[in-house]
Amino acid sequence: MELEQNFSILIETLGTIAFAMSGTFAAMQKRFDPFGVLIISFVTAVGGGTIRDLLLNVPVFWMHDIFICAVIFIATVLGIIIKYFEKNFQVTLFLFDSIGLGLFTIIGIQKGLNADLHPVICITLGTITGCFGGILRDILLNRIPLIFRKEIYATACILGGTVYLLMIQYSGISSIVKQMITILLIVTIRTLAVKFHWQMPKFYNDIHDGRT
C-alpha cells in the first residue's frame, strides 16, 4: 500500500516536471520574460488537475502542497537552462509531453474512481487532467491548442484510459503494473503516430473554405 502511494507521488511529480518543461519551452519560443515563462509553466503543469479538482469539488491539489510549487519552479529554471544551451529540443519535448499525458490521465481516472463516478465520466476526467494543461497553455499563447492540430493526442489519451479501466477489474495484477502498462501504451501510440504520420480521418468542407 505504501509502495503504491509512493508510486502515485512519483507519477504526479514526473508528470508535473514534464508539463512544466513543455510550458517553459513553449513560452520561451514566444520570447516571454522569466516571470511570464514561470506563469505559463505553472498553468501548464497544474491547469488540468485544477479543473479536475474544481469539477470534483475537492480541495485543489496544489493549494496545500508547497512541494508541487517547488517542483514547478525547479523544472522551469532547469528548462530555461537546458533550452538555452541545447536549442534543438523537439524530440525531448515531445517525449516529456507524451509521458506527462499518460501520467496525468491515470491520476484523473483514479480520482474519478475514488469519487465513485461512472467509468465514462472517469475517462472524461482523465482526458481533462491530461489535456487541459496544454489547452490552457495554448490559449494563453493565443494559438489553436496543439491537441486539435496533432490529432492522435486526445485519441491516445482516451484509448489508454479505456485500457486502464478494463485492466482495473482484474485484481490479480498490481496497480503499479497496470499504471505502467497504460503509460507505456499512451507513449507508444503517440510515438508511432508521429513516426509513421498516422492521422485520424479529418473532415473536409469545401463550401466554408477560407470563410471562417
Binding residues (CB under 8 A) for its own copies: these are 27-37, 39-40, 42, 50, 54-57, 59-60, 62-64, 66, 69, 80, 83-84, 87-88, 117-118, 120-121, 124, 127, 131, 135, 139-145, 147-148, 151, 154-155, 158, 199-208, 212
Q: Shortest gap between Cβ of 158 and its own copies (angstroms)? A: 7
Q: Shortest gap between Cβ of 138 and its own copies (angstroms)? A: 8
Length of the chain: 212
Q: Which residues contact 75 (CB under 8 A, 6 or more apart)?
A: 16, 17, 20, 21, 24, 41, 45
Helical packing angle, 2-29 and 34-56, nearest 10°: 140
Q: Shortest gap between Cβ of 188 and its own copies (angstroms)? A: 18
Q: Output 120 or 173, the one with its CB closest to its own copies.
A: 120
H or E segment and range at residue 12:
helix 2-29
HEC states along 157-204? Answer: HHHHHHHHHHHCCCCCCCHHHHHHHHHHHHHHHHHHHHHCCCCCCCCC
Q: Shortest gap between Cβ of 66 and its own copies (angstroms)? A: 5
Q: Output 10 or 148, the one with its CB closest to its own copies.
A: 148
Q: Output 145 or 178, the one with its CB closest to its own copies.
A: 145
